Amino acid sequence: MRVLVFTSAALLVLAVIPAGAEKNEDAHVYRVELENRGDQASVRLIPRQGKLLVQLQFRIKKLADGTLVNNVPKEEIVIREDGRPVDAEIHQPAGSEPLAAVLALDISGSMANGGKMAQAQHAAGIFLDKLPDNSDAGLILFDHEIRLKEGLSGRPEQAAAHRAKLRGIIDAAKPLGGTAYLDATLESLQLLQGTSGRKAVLVMTDGVDLNSEATLAKVVERARAVQVPIYTIGVGEPGRNEPVTTVLVLDHSGSMLAPAADGDSKPKIKALHEAAARFADMMRPNSRTALLPFSDTSELPTPFLSDKSKIKKSMRELTASGETALFDAVCDALDTLEADREDVHRLGKSTGKRALVVLTDGKDNKSHRRVDDVVRMAKQTKTPLYLLGLGRPGELDEGVMERMAKESGGQYYSARNQQRLFEIFESLSIELHDDGIDEASLRRLADETGGKYYLARNVGDLQLRFQEVAADLDTTYVATFASRRPQHDGTARGIDIQVKRGEQALSAAVRDVYDVHGVVVAEMHPGVYLGVLAVLGGLLAVPVGLRRLHRAFGG
């Protein structure tokens, strides 16, 4: 009976020590959980420049009640691969120190489709609301160029009012133009220059970057140099990146010397130079176009080119003279496009998307062919015709142009002035060349800077995606390091994550990046360990002491 009582008392002492330790400010027991949201792996392997980067995303919780912890300094987090320490770049959650975030929002013309702009405005407002209270924020609005730049408030007491101001700016934005999210991201990093504490950039776009001067590699390099993670949200379906081949059939007859409207400052031929150049500016890298000018006759087409500078040079060389041979020019352009299709097919390449873009400011008065010939050829070659009528009512045969567009599966556009012509060429280029988001680039932009990529296939998902980014900024640790084994060979990699303070650290390993488990990490004051060892020593000594007492008194 004495043995039982003594042992029970010792066990009670052992049980009380950890509980008492929790009262100590330096005593915690943590559980580290690798984050995994279905399609987002918590451990990713990223090949780059002959190396294999390992990226971990994890959260730290109190073991007792599961409360998220976001204030463990990165200096106390130790990561090992296969038992050996690695030099990991660790991005901390926002709660550990003040956060400065810049939101870069795409307001290009394609955002006007399907209610995307309204959803994005609402979701961005929620994102700003859900940032930690001590967070400062900046804003970039962009299309094919940066339309608005609003820096950080720079004063903690004004952060909340500044975020409210940003919401008002976002709500007033109007979609127009192309996409230059790389330039916008680089400018976002510039806004964060000189800011202390934790920093992050969030970029939302629904298209392919066709207009940035900055390259993806340059933006990644800059973000890594200043240690700013970039979070990206792609809206819509990932693009198939199929080639696009077009012929621009452009009227440069004598009537193009007059302005399209009384208020226009330029003659129609100059307005055409600028508008058609905008079409070329927004072509995808794998797209080609040929130029087929016409006036009295249909002229020889230029070669199919991807070089935007050469395409624009050919446009600028057009001068206005002669009459209008619209139907002959369209038929010749269809022949040109069909001949190219056969050449591409013989090479075993994908023919991709093909279309004719036709502009005229007058009625056909010189062609040998008729509108029925145009419609028949377009149907036979399955080529949509996009007709642009430039000028005043009555100067154009709009009924004929509408028929050509409708029966070929294309569309007719009326441009009454030079500004409207520019907008039509711009939106038409977006429609033809922007077939979805460039998911590979958005993912790389996030992965290689310590951020995360999110896909919002439906506009209704935008609010959730923005909320997830805000939550990640507040609670998620991201660690990136170069693997000691640079080959992505599918073998198991033992990864340990420790929380270490002073000389004390306990951890269990995250084993095998393909079969990831949570980690239990305990951290206690050194006195706790000494107490536990003393009690264990006492328990081990009990049987020996009892035997000696028995011999001494009972024989």
Residue 443's CATH number = 3.40.50.410
212 with 141, same domain: the answer is yes
Res 295: pLDDT: 97
Res 368: pLDDT: 96
Residue 535 structural domain: 1-27+524-555
Burial of 118 (C-beta count, 10 Å sphere; 0-12/13-18/19+): middle
How large a percentage of the chain has pLDDT more than 90? 51
Joined together, the tokens standing for residue 132 give: 């930690």
pLDDT band at 19 (very low <50, low <70, confident <90, very high): very low
Section 43-68 average pLDDT: 78
Res 90: pLDDT: 87
pLDDT band at 483 (very low <50, low <70, confident <90, very high): confident
User: Could you tell me how far CA 357 lies from the centroid of its own chain?
Assistant: 31
Section 45-49 average pLDDT: 76
177 with 201, same domain: the answer is yes
pLDDT tens-place string over residues 305-360: 999 999 999 999 999 999 999 999 999 999 999 999 999 989 888 889 999 999 99
Range with lowest mean pLDDT among 15-24, 310-319, 410-419: 15-24
The total number of structural domains that make up the chain: 4
Q: What ranges make up the beta strands (E) of 51-179?
A: 51-62, 68-69, 77-81, 84-85, 89-91, 99-106, 136-142, 146-150
CB 412 within 8 A of CB 406: yes
417 with 400, same domain: the answer is yes
Section 387-399 average pLDDT: 93
Res 32: pLDDT: 81
Res 13: pLDDT: 32
User: Could you tell me how far CA 395 lies from the centroid of its own chain?
Assistant: 46
pLDDT tens-place string over residues 195-208: 887 899 999 999 88
- Mean of the per-residue pLDDT values of the chain: 83
Give dist(CA 201, CA 119) in Å, integer. 20
- Greater confidence (123 vs 503) lies with 123
Res 26: pLDDT: 40
Q: Is the pLDDT of residue 549 over 60?
A: no
110 with 221, same domain: the answer is yes
Res 168: pLDDT: 95
Q: Is the pLDDT of residue 7 over 70?
A: no
514 with 467, same domain: the answer is no
Of residues 202, 220, 212, 151, the one with CA closest to residue 181: 212
pLDDT band at 453 (very low <50, low <70, confident <90, very high): very high
Section 168-186 average pLDDT: 93
Range with lowest mean pLDDT among 210-214, 261-265, 364-368: 210-214
Q: Is the pLDDT of residue 154 over 60?
A: yes
69 with 189, same domain: the answer is no
Q: Is the pLDDT of residue 553 over 60?
A: no
* DSSP percent split of the chain into helix, strand, coil, nearest 5: 40, 25, 35
Give dist(CA 331, CA 326) in Å, integer. 9
Res 95: pLDDT: 66
pLDDT tens-place string over residues 485-531: 776 566 666 788 888 776 654 444 444 443 333 333 333 444 544 55
39 with 103, same domain: the answer is no
pLDDT tens-place string over residues 459-478: 889 999 999 898 888 888 88
130 with 183, same domain: the answer is yes
459 with 336, same domain: the answer is no
Section 370-395 average pLDDT: 96
pLDDT band at 223 (very low <50, low <70, confident <90, very high): very high
pLDDT band at 75 (very low <50, low <70, confident <90, very high): confident
Supply angle C-alpha 242, 244, 249, rounded to 5.
170
pLDDT band at 134 (very low <50, low <70, confident <90, very high): confident
Task: Give the side-chain half-sphere CA count within 13 A for 392.
Answer: 10
Range with lowest mean pLDDT among 157-171, 288-302, 423-437: 423-437
Q: Beta strand pairing status for 51-62 and 28-34?
A: antiparallel
428 with 303, same domain: the answer is yes
Joined together, the tokens standing for residue 235 give: 């809206």
402 with 256, same domain: the answer is yes
Task: Give residues with Cβ within 8 angstroms of 279, minimum separation 6.
Answer: 248, 289, 357, 425, 426, 428, 429
375 with 249, same domain: the answer is yes
What are the φ and ψ backbone dihedral angles of 255, each rounded to 5 degrees?
A: -65, -10
Of residues 398, 425, 245, 423, the one with CA closest to residue 333: 245
